[in-house]
A and B are shown apart, each in its own frame.
Chain A
């Protein structure tokens, strides 16, 4: 096999996992944009999505096509309950306190999963098939190709919604100036709920895709940290930034992992993060006057 072909295959795999990073990053962006809260539990919500799918598909024996929406709905429900029950009560508290609450929430979710399903990694029932996909001569794992297509589609839909749907416009308006949005008749608390519900649903969906590629485990929430790097590089409040930075970080991780060895992956990822924070602390596409934690 030629070196070039191998490079292309590694890059395609990188883009595939990058798309999943983008999708997860989107959950951070949605929630941050609307409520100015960095929800560190996104990774654990993603994990919950994987376990919900396991419960519905393997436990209850539902068809995957029912289990996927059910898992997404489960994640969305967690988001809605957390927003209504905890985050809204903390309106006006310091951002650090709210941030810490989401850290705690992540631990609680991990605990619940370990109690219910144990600590061993599991594999998810297969629903995508295994026949490989070829782009030209390059081989791509079918699951990664499907994940890439789904993530790309979802992000495109979100971009369109932000631009054209009144709810999306309301969210953008709320993100820019809450008081003005409130005075214009926008139901700001409703926008908060919506952002948490959709954001956590998206994370749960990403969890199903990620889990079906690499299996699920209570520790898979760490994927959320890589996604957090993506969000900071792309800009905390930018959907396009999440897309671009997710693909870029996915590529960098695939290249360094293949050519330098797996132990270099995180060095490079977080190296990029540090560089970015030094040069453009508001990210590639972020709004400049973002509050710093």
Chain B
């Protein structure tokens, strides 16, 4: 495992986000333990992706805080978060088309490189050394690890969907993450690709020890590899705990299968939020 990658702890505290009058996230609190795989699940429109964008710095929440190892990073912009050790992937593949797999992966290291323009132009001294080290590290720790040796000089646009997703994971790993944020890592994959990706995510956790937070729809995959599951619905946490506990929770079943009365659930959630605000006010 590369050094300087101590897994980080993430705390989300009382986070709220609205778009105009629409409450996307309402007073959400949860934690991601260092070195764990935590899954954020919920039906469509539950606020998962909004939550994810708040955590990675793409959205600024109106209230609440995101803490990275205890430090408040709510207002820190994404490039600075990248330097701190945040790395994310995107729901829709966001690779640099037209570049090769290797170039894409190396761009992940952009935030951590130090040489300036003149050194890079002259291309000796620190710049050349940094480049050589980077290449060796990328080859050893990432390309071999994710089994993408055979495609590394191919342009990413020529790859299958599953492989593109894997290159995106590779680029995120090149960022030396202390927390890895995966937005629907197996969305749109067939069974075999899903199993491969699940194995790689588990390998990252076991060999690198990285803290992982993922949003995912594939229940089977979530239940197989997560240590901890947080369920969102209508922008609020409706359940949390070990995978099998969450799976058995009647509210989760109701949220997913639609049995029960959604109006009643919304009413109960509103009441809970009011109670929460009241206790928060008196404390």
Contact = CB atoms under 8 A, between A and B. Distances in A.
Interface of A: 164-167, 169-170, 172-173, 176-177, 179-188, 287
Contacts of A181: 96, 107
Interface residues of B, number: 29
Contacts of A179: 58, 90, 94
Interface in B98-119: 98-99, 103, 107-108, 110-113, 115, 117
Contact of B79 (A165, A177, A187): A187
A182 B58 contact: yes
Contact of B121 (A164, A169, A184): A164
A183 B99 contact: no
Given A181-B107, A183-B87, A185-B111, 5 more contacts: A167-B117, A170-B110, A177-B95, A183-B82, A186-B110
A184 B175 contact: yes
B120 A183 contact: no
19 contacts: A164-B120, A166-B115, A166-B117, A172-B98, A172-B99, A173-B99, A177-B94, A179-B58, A180-B90, A182-B78, A183-B56, A183-B82, A183-B87, A183-B90, A183-B94, A184-B171, A184-B175, A185-B111, A185-B175
The 8 closest A-B pairs by CB, nearest first: A185-B111, A185-B82, A180-B94, A176-B96, A182-B78, A185-B79, A177-B94, A187-B79
Contacts of B96: 172-173, 176-177, 180-181
Contacts of A287: 98
A165 B113 CA distance: 12
Interface of B: 56, 58, 78-79, 82-83, 87-88, 90, 94-99, 103, 107-108, 110-113, 115, 117, 120-121, 123, 171, 175
Contacts of A167: 117
Nearest to B116: A166
A165 B121 contact: yes
A181 B56 CA distance: 13
B95 A180 contact: yes
A78 to B, nearest CB: 23
A184 B58 CA distance: 12
Contact of A185 (B58, B90, B94, B110): B110
A105 B110 CA distance: 35
A188 B111 CA distance: 12
A293 B81 CA distance: 34
A188 B58 CA distance: 12
A166 B79 contact: no
A178 to B, nearest CB: 9
